[in-house]
Structure 1
Amino acid sequence: MLDTLFQGLFDTALTDTIAPGKFLLCVGVSLLLGLMLCAMTLWRSRFSRSLTVTLAILPAVVCVVILMVNGNVGTGVAVAGAFNLVRFRSAPGSAREIGALFVAMGTGLITGMGYLAYGALFTLILGAAMMLYNAVSLRPGTGGSTERTLHITIPEDLDYAGVFDPILRQYARRYTLTQVKTTNMGSLFKLTYDLTLKDRNQEKAFIDQLRLRNGNLEIALGHQDSTAATL
């Protein structure tokens, strides 16, 4: 009776069915690996709660999809199309977020095919690699700790072309003007630079020099990765 309960309505005698025990085992291992992958990805990192939950349950979702496809080519193509539709209708994330989601999907694919030990090994290897990269990128003295985004507000009558270059060359190894936009009903301009500081301890002196050029209007200097990643 229990076996017939979990059979599909359109299954035939030639259709391979999945035993409930094996189904629960694959899904349980996927959930466990998802939690492990989530914890290893979030180590020394900041992500939104939505991305955290997604990383935890995505391996189990993909695992169930692969189990249900079960060699059916037509169903597999339909599932791939559905995943693409969801992806392109969602807001694009950073390369780091997309990489974490691909790792979670890979874990679900492996467990869904029945290779539970390989799924655990894959999670441990990729999770350890992400932890290592996070630890290296957060080590004091690395280039990532001196990368900043600079916002400078200037009056509309100030010609911004090259006016801040001497100061930027003095305090930054490299800098790029990434955006210029008007604000305050067009009476002000806001310049956005991506730059790498030469010395983190000279931020105040850097801002003080900029204030002398922009008429003491608003200046904002922050880390390029200062906002939490969202899905």
Structure 2
Amino acid sequence: MLSSLLIESSVDLSFKQLLVCVITSIIFGLLVASVHMYRNVYSKNFVITLAVLPVLVQLVIMLVNGNLGTGVAVLGAFSLIRFRSVAGGAREITSIFWSMGIGLATGMGFVGYIVLFSITIAFFLLILNTIHFGEKQKVAEREIKITIPEDLDYPDLFDDLFQHYTYAASLDSVKTTNMGSLYELRYRVTLKDNRKEKELMDAIRVRNGNLTIIFGKVSTNREEL
């Protein structure tokens, strides 16, 4: 079942064998795209690429199968390709490798192999995303910018507040503003309770003389919703 369809006919490929490999690539390319769209943020162009990629990879593998010279030439051609968009997240990389694996397997004729493993991978990914496996607890990371007068000694100024309201807090940067008469402190904190964000802000306002305080989300790579 898992043996190659092309192992005995690597030179003279029948139309039936070619058709089976192409249809398999198309079907499982659509499967990869569908699984990638499940509870995920995606673009139309990316999921179309995932659906088409197995057929394209299959074409290349069938052309270079058993021909060292052609393989080297194709390798040089692929080395010219660069991804010019922003780096994708872990789920995007997983889907790309899955699509390429389907194309590699069908290009070598291992149709039964890729049918078995693609169904297994699809079922596994759907289960993990359905049960929210690995999802973080509902704690919020915040970036806090606090303005204080120059006469305040800032290193331990808010430690007791952060100990009470946050799991972790770190001072990322300090800079002077307003011709050196004010300091701007930038902290990164993990709140214990999102509902007490205003309470923490009010407590900080008492310490910094009611000067400007900015709470913002920490910039991170978005991988999923």
Q: Find out whether 1:103 has 2:98 as its counterpart.
A: yes
Distance (Å, rounded) in 2 between the aligned partners of 1:26 and 1:82: 24
> Following superposition of structure 1 onto structure 2, how do residues 28-43 of structure 1 map, counting pairs within 5 Å?
28-43=23-38
1:144 to 108, 130, 136: 136
Distance (Å, rounded) in 2 between the aligned partners of 1:221 and 1:46: 19
Matched residues, number: 210
1:171 to 158, 162, 165: 165
Distance (Å, rounded) in 2 between the aligned partners of 1:223 and 1:81: 37
Residue 7 of structure 2 corresponds to none
Deviation string for 1:157-216 (max 9, x for gaps)? 678756554444333333556x6598x999996847374x43344444445545666734
Specify which structure has the higher proportion of helix. 1
Distance (Å, rounded) in 2 between the aligned partners of 1:73 and 1:198: 60
Deviation string for 1:89-139 (max 9, x for gaps)? 55432233222211221121112111122212221222222223323436x
Residue 128 of structure 1 corresponds to 123
- Name the SS of the counterpart of 1:218 in structure 2: strand
Structure 2 gap segments, 5+ residues each: 1-9
Deviation of the 1:55 alpha carbon: 1.9
Distance (Å, rounded) in 2 between the aligned partners of 1:34 and 1:131: 16
How many percent identity over aligned positions? Answer: 33
- Name the SS of the counterpart of 1:86 in structure 2: coil
Structure 1 gap segments, 5+ residues each: 1-14
Q: Find out whether 1:113 has 2:108 as its counterpart.
A: yes
Residue 71 of structure 1 corresponds to 66
Answer whether contact 1:59 1:108 (CA < 8 A) is retained.
yes
Tell me which amino acid in the other structure corresponds to 1:199: D
Per mean C-alpha deviation after superposition, the further-off stretch among 124-133 and 164-173 is: 164-173
Answer whether contact 1:37 1:127 (CA < 8 A) is retained.
yes
Distance (Å, rounded) in 1 between the aligned partners of 2:75 and 2:104: 12
Answer whether contact 2:201 2:213 (CA < 8 A) is retained.
no
- Name the SS of the counterpart of 2:40 in structure 1: coil
Deviation of the 1:33 alpha carbon: 0.6
TM-score, scaled relative to structure 1:
0.67
Tell me which amino acid in the other structure corresponds to 2:216: A
Distance (Å, rounded) in 1 between the aligned partners of 2:179 and 2:89: 31
Distance (Å, rounded) in 2 between the aligned partners of 1:112 and 1:20: 14
Bigger Cα Rg: 2
Distance (Å, rounded) in 2 between the aligned partners of 1:21 and 1:181: 69
Residue 14 of structure 2 corresponds to 19
> Following superposition of structure 1 onto structure 2, how do residues 84-99 of structure 1 map, counting pairs within 5 Å?
84-87=79-82, 91-99=86-94
Answer whether contact 2:143 2:216 (CA < 8 A) is retained.
yes
